Every structure is written in C-alpha cells, then in structure tokens.
Amino acid sequence: MDGLTTDTPAMDKLDLRDLSFEELERFVGDELGEKPYRARQLFRWLYRRNARAFAEMTDLKEELRERLEARCTIEPLPIAAVHRSADGTEKLQLALKDGGAVEAVLIPGDDRLTLCVSSQVGCAMGCAFCYTGSLKLSRNLTCAEIVDQYRQALHHLGGKAERISNVVLMGMGEPLANFDAVAKAVNLLMDDRGYDLSGRRVTVSTCGIAPRLKDLAEQTDASLAVSLNATTDTTRSLLMPINRKHPLAELMRALEAFPLARRKRILFEYVLLAGVNDTDEDARRLVKLARRISCKVNLIPYNPHGASDFARPSDERILAFQKILLDAGVTAFIRQSRGQDIYGACGMLGRGARRPDSTARIS
C-alpha cells in the first residue's frame, strides 16, 4: 500500500516535470513496476506532444493512467493573464500554487519567435537598474515551473513547437542562483527524446556568478549570455553588487575557460545608461574585453521603470557607441525594446498587468 489515493492534493503528488529522463525511468521501473519503454512513452507525451493530462496519453493502459493520476501531477500552471503589446510581444502571467505569479514573454522578431523564461520569483542580485531586482527574491522556481513556461507558451500558440525558435532564460531571476533546477529544466527542453531544442536555441543569461560557469558548461549544452553592463570594476560594482564578489578579472577568466562549440559565441549584454557607462572610453574598453573571447554584444538601451532613475542615452550616443565596436570588428547589435508598454521588456518583469486593454483568461 502506498497510502496515496486519488484524493491526494496535487501539491503532495510527485511532479513528473521535476524528474530528469533517468529519474523518470527509475520511478517508472522501481515505483510503478513498469517496463522502461513506458518512461519513454511518458516522456514523449510530456515533452513532444505537450500533453496536459494523463487522460490524453491514450497509448498507456487505463490502469496505469489511473495509478499515475493518483500519485503524480503534470497539471499546467494556469495562464492567469495574457498581456499583449502594440509591437506584438505577449507576456503570459502564470499562476503559481502558492499564490505568486511568474512571467514568460513571447517576443516576435523578423524571422524568429523568442520565448523569455523566468527562473526565480524576483531576484536577490540587486542590480541598480533592474525592476525585477528591486522586488528582492521571493523564491526559486522549481524545474517543473521553469519547463511549464515553455509548455504553456506552446499551448498558447496552439501546440506548434516549430513556432518558438529560441528560448532565453532572461526573465525574472538569476538562473545560476537556482542552478540545479535551471540545469535540469534546460536539459529537459534539449533532450532529443522530447522537445529536442538545440544548444544554439537555448540561452542562459547570468549577471556573472563566475564559479558557476564551469558547472553550466559541464552539465548542459546551453548557450551563454553574460550581463556585462560596465567595463571597470568601479562602475560595475556600483551597478551590480555581484561584481564585488566576482570582479571583472575573475569573470573574464571564467569566460575564457568556457568551452564553446565551433561558431557558438558568448553573448555580452550591455545596458546603456546615460552618463554612467556610455562614453567612448567605455566602448573602447568593451572592445578590449570582447576581443578576449569569441562573442557578440547586445546593446540594450535602458528601459525606464520608476524603481530607478537612470536615463536612456540619446539615439546619437547609442549609435556612436555601437560604431566604435563595429569599427573595431566586434559584432554589436542594438536590442530593440519590445513590450515596454506591457512591462515585458528587459529588466521590467514582475509588475504584472499594465495596459487596460490586456486580455485575461484562465487556461
């Protein structure tokens, strides 16, 4: 007797999306007494066919489905609201069991649709320019809650996996401060028995927890983005408290040691703040840092949000900064700010609804 009945509250049930494939295989064999191929079937239903209930898994015998139902859960995080921006960006607000909410953002580009996923509720890193940082950390997300953002975004898009071209862990939170859940979730998304996303299509962004980069490289094939945001320790420590613990020299050494597949480059994110980190000297120092590794640079003009009083540089300054990088042979893009009107842009997550005409539904 396992003591679990169909009345077991969902919170006490084992969430199958918290298990790696190997853990699922062990559970199916040891706990359910089923053959290993059942684990592959379950995995495929979860991470290829995006099943939302055991009842959908029609090639599992009914008796097994009932046992799964009694002991396990795959219940999706309810979509509490969808906020749609004038530029096509959509922010999904997903309700968490403990009453909080987490946000995932779908960002359309010319030939791509990027899903920006959160890893924590709030963030403990306290970067001076970031709205999420001003919220402080409420808690880590579980692996299931991270993976479900992708599953629910797919569902929202009518189940068409090919529509999401890239997944970036650039939403709320610092992924490397919730390392185990993030690494497991990334590996679930990339597993070729499931959604089979390639390492080029999944990017983990960090504020620079240098010692964790090695773990990320060893345990996943995800691409790496680093929020650099400044070129001297003085400025970086003012903007990003993590720099006091892991200064630029240590971060750069860790990046130089980060193994890259051929053609795969590290992405440097650089928030441009007027009068703080946007001078010609900053750009020239950025060139020097960028030349040390195989990378490209994303310049992100500051998105204003009320919890900090930085300013976006003028368009002229932004272009002049980019030109210094380009002239020195450094690939540099200016990231269009998408979804600002729904608080869906970089560093603005955590505020929920903004627009009166946003649609809300429970799914």
The minimum distance between CB 129 and ligand SAH, in angstroms, equals 5
Rounded Cα distance, 187 and 239, in Å: 32
Coil, helix or strand at residue 196:
coil
**Shortest CB 270 distance to ligand SF4, Å:** 12
Stretch that binds ligand SF4, among 129-137, 143-151, 159-167, 333-341 (CB under 6 A): 129-137
Q: Which of 19, 57, 77, 125 binds ligand SF4 (CB under 6 A)?
A: 125
Q: Which residues contact 31 (CB under 8 A, 6 or more apart)?
A: 71
**Rounded Cα gap, residues 90 and 10, in angstroms:** 29
The least distance separating ligand SAH from the CB of residue 253, rounded to whole angstroms, comes to 19
From residue 81, give the alpha-carbon distance in Å to each of 4, 260, 345.
33, 38, 17
**Residues lying near ligand SAH in the complex (CB under 6 A):** 129-130, 170, 174, 205-207, 227, 229, 269, 271, 300, 302-303, 305, 346-347
Closer residue to ligand SF4 (CB): 132 or 138: 132
Does 130 sit near ligand SF4 (CB under 6 A)? yes
By CB under 6 A, how many residues form the interface with ligand SF4? Answer: 12
Phi, psi of 166, rounded to the nearest 5 degrees: -140, 145
Binding partner of residue 178 among ligand SAH, ligand SF4, none, CB under 5 to 8 Å per kind?
none
Stretch that binds ligand SF4, among 58-66, 122-130, 156-164, 295-303 (CB under 6 A): 122-130
Q: Pick what 229 binds: ligand SAH, ligand SF4, none; C-beta below 5 to 8 Å, kind-dependent.
A: ligand SAH
346 binds, among ligand SF4, ligand SAH, none (CB under 5 to 8 A by kind): ligand SAH
What count of other Cβ atoms lies within 10 Å of the Cβ of residue 9?
Answer: 8
Q: Does 235 bind ligand SF4 (CB under 6 A)?
A: no
Cβ–Cβ < 8 Å for 293, 255: yes
Q: How far apart are CA 337 and CA 45, in angstroms?
A: 36
CA 46/CA 72 separation, integer angstroms:
13
Crossing angle of helices 211-219 and 248-256, in 10° steps, is 20
Instruction: Considering only the stretches 118-126, 145-153, 155-163, 354-362, report the one whose residues sit in contact with ligand SF4 under the rule CB under 6 A.
Output: 118-126
Q: Closer to ligand SAH at the Cβ: 140 or 206? A: 206
Beta-sheet strands, E only, within 37-77: 72-73
Q: Which of 347, 348, 350, 358 binds ligand SF4 (CB under 6 A)?
A: 347
What distance in Å separates the CA atoms of residue 89 and residue 83, rounded to the nearest whole number? 8
Identify the burial level of 247 via C-beta atoms within 10 angstroms of its C-beta, where 0-12 means exposed, 13-18 middle and 19 or more buried.
middle
80 backbone dihedrals φ, ψ, rounded to 5°:
-80, -30
Smallest gap from residue 344 Cβ to ligand SF4 (A) = 14
Nearer to ligand SAH, 266 or 346 (CB): 346
Asked if 138 touches ligand SF4 (CB under 6 A), the answer is no
The angle subtended at Cα 265 by Cα 260 and Cα 270, nearest 5°, is 130
CB of 170 to ligand SAH, least distance (A): 4
Least separation in angstroms between residue 77's CB and ligand SF4 is: 20
Which active-site residues does the annotation give?
A: 103, 346
Binding site for ligand SF4 (CB under 6 A): 123, 125-127, 130, 132-133, 173-174, 207, 227, 347
